[in-house]
Amino acid sequence: YIYFFSSKENRETFMKNPIKYICQPKPKPAVPVKIAIVGPPKSGKTTVAKKFASVCGLLCLSMGDAIRFVLNNQPESELALTLKWHLHKGLTVPDELAIQALDVALMNHVCNTTGVVIDGYPVTKKQVNLLKSARIIPVKIFELDMDAKEVFRRALLDKESMNRPPYPEHDSSQILAIKNSCYKQHIDAIRTYYKKEHQNWCVIDACRSKWWIWNKVLQEVQAVVKEIQIYLERIREGKAASIADLCITPEELQYRLGEFGQYCPVSLADKGELVDCSVTSSLQFAAEFRGHYYKMASQEELDKFLSRPEVYVPPLAPQPLPCPDMLPKKLTAADVKALFPTNAEMQGYCPVTYLDGKQRYEALVPGNIEYAAKYQDKLYIFESEEKLLKFMRLPEKYWNLKLPRKLPPVKEPLLLTALPLPGYLEQATATSLIKALSDVGCLKPKFPFLSVKKSALLFIACHLKAHNPRSPEPARQTYQRRLARLKEHCQLIPYLAETMAGPYQEPQHRPLGFASRLQTFLSMK
């Protein structure tokens, strides 16, 4: 065999011990990756993209680079002539033409062998739709997240830098504010789309150091590449493979679902449970086997499926998925009302609570129409979300129960005003009265020239008025001021008793404010 080396030193090292390097495991197949980096201005998108180009050999491609590539390499093409027409007119290149230029630039041999980093694109929902129509789907999109304050801080630092280019740049504060505003206006919709459709969106804190950002991005890309390599290797060997990071759309998933739909085949085979995995759009626990997709309930079930997939799919699967008519279906409160006059089974009691409670009288708990399900054309209502999920997993266990002859009395609503006086006070004013009585016990008010009983009753009345949540705010504030004056007047007796305990003092030797308080006290008689 003839071997080729990247340098003379490597060749000399090989010649000293060739067996060592010949017997090593073969490298995994090279996977050209397609990455996109978006973020507000000055967030470091181009820095990260150029770092990928220099370290990993990927092609760094902005939309301007793609347009220049077409103009320089295919100047006589119809696309290039159309681009020139717009540019010579001083117009912005339309997104439709820009996507065509990007599609042409992606035919570069570097993109097809190593990969490409798309710098600063897409930034609008229209551009996302155009990328989708051109089938340009990055395996990972990194959002460098940064607030506006940091954008302007970095812009000021750049203006003070000595490494500025000789030509003027569009980096004034007004232009940056417009760019940042446009970016913030569209980024939420773009993020939502890619998270839902492809699960390939990754948010990076751009305020961290450039070394931390680079390491984080590199780790994410390496993990994705490793997953793709493992997927290709296992599929080539006829094994099951995880599809977590393959950017599979919901439409493609639905088209290639296996015999179990979105139900977990491992849970059905091992536990007999119907675990519906459609509640989440994530493909973290999904796998491909024999050209079909299967979703699992957790990492444990996924590991079991990847190790022995043939025992969980036909023809070796222990039990098939029931037909659609025999599968339980969740219902909303509106769905339950639409089924009127259909009555709920077990007279509306929760079957799961009843059976799990060993069918005792105490386990007869009424259900809530917020947690309802339909099974075999029958309506069931459950106590909580947890009980509903139990029924959805094991409907055969709970569906055919019989109620005992003795049932709890029907709980009918009772008007508050229909209660006897002690019950009304307990349900309506107990909390307010307890607070008022607690304050009376702590303060022990004694109003001048009134008995202790009358002072306490007056205090409680003002306290209830001042803290009545059903009274208007001005009325509450009036009684709060009155309550404060009442507390102040109740403090006159202990104050005067303490101040006048000694021998007679001349008016000029008495404490400041004594005369006014004494006059207030005497005026209350």
pLDDT, tens only, 413-435: 778 788 888 888 888 888 888 99
pLDDT, tens digit (0-9, with 9 covering 90-100), for 117-136? 999 989 999 999 999 998 88
* Mean pLDDT rounded to a whole number for the chain: 89
Token representation of residue 225? 């590449």
Note the pLDDT of residue 250. 85
The b-or-e profile of 205-231 (16+ CB within 10 A means b, else e) is ebeeeeeebbebbeebbeebbebbeeb
Task: Give the mean model confidence (pLDDT) for residues 460-480.
Answer: 92
Q: Confidence band (pLDDT; 50, 70, 90) for 477?
A: very high
Task: For residues 242 and 266, give the distance between their C-alpha atoms in angstroms, rounded to a whole number.
Answer: 15
pLDDT of residue 36 exceeding 80, the answer is: yes
Task: Give the mean model confidence (pLDDT) for residues 40-65.
Answer: 89
Task: For residues 476 and 472, give the distance between their C-alpha atoms in angstroms, rounded to a whole number.
Answer: 6
78: left (phi over 0), alpha (psi -120 to 50) or beta: alpha
pLDDT, tens digit (0-9, with 9 covering 90-100), for 257-288? 999 999 999 999 999 899 999 888 888 899 99
Of all residues in the chain, the percent with pLDDT exceeding 90 is 47
pLDDT of residue 26 exceeding 90, the answer is: no
Note the pLDDT of residue 246. 87
Note the pLDDT of residue 353. 92
Write the DSSP string, 320-356. Answer: PPPPGGGS-EEE-HHHHHHTTTPPBGGGGB-HHHHHH
User: What is the model's pTM?
Assistant: 0.67
Note the pLDDT of residue 98. 92
Of all residues in the chain, the percent with pLDDT exceeding 70 is 99
pLDDT of residue 412 exceeding 80, the answer is: no
pLDDT, tens digit (0-9, with 9 covering 90-100), for 221-259? 999 999 999 999 899 999 999 998 888 888 888 999 999
pLDDT of residue 174 exceeding 90, the answer is: no
pLDDT of residue 166 exceeding 80, the answer is: no
Note the pLDDT of residue 411. 75
Task: Give the mean model confidence (pLDDT) for residues 491-520.
Answer: 86
The single-letter code of the amino acid at 8 is: K
Task: For residues 168 and 275, give the distance between their C-alpha atoms in angstroms, rounded to a whole number.
Answer: 61
Q: Where are the alpha helices (DSSP H) in 241-324?
A: 250-255, 265-270, 299-307
Delimit the domains of the chain by residue range: 33-156+171-224, 238-319, 325-397, 420-501+509-523
Homologous superfamily of 33-156+171-224 in CATH? Answer: P-loop containing nucleotide triphosphate hydrolases (3.40.50.300)
Number of H helices, E strands in the chain: 24, 11
pLDDT of residue 373 exceeding 90, the answer is: yes
Task: For residues 112 and 459, give the distance between their C-alpha atoms in angstroms, rounded to a whole number.
Answer: 85
Of the candidates 218, 210, 231, which has an alpha carbon nearest to the alpha carbon of residue 58?
218
User: Which carries the bigger pLDDT value, residue 199 or residue 158?
Assistant: 199
Q: Confidence band (pLDDT; 50, 70, 90) for 389?
A: very high
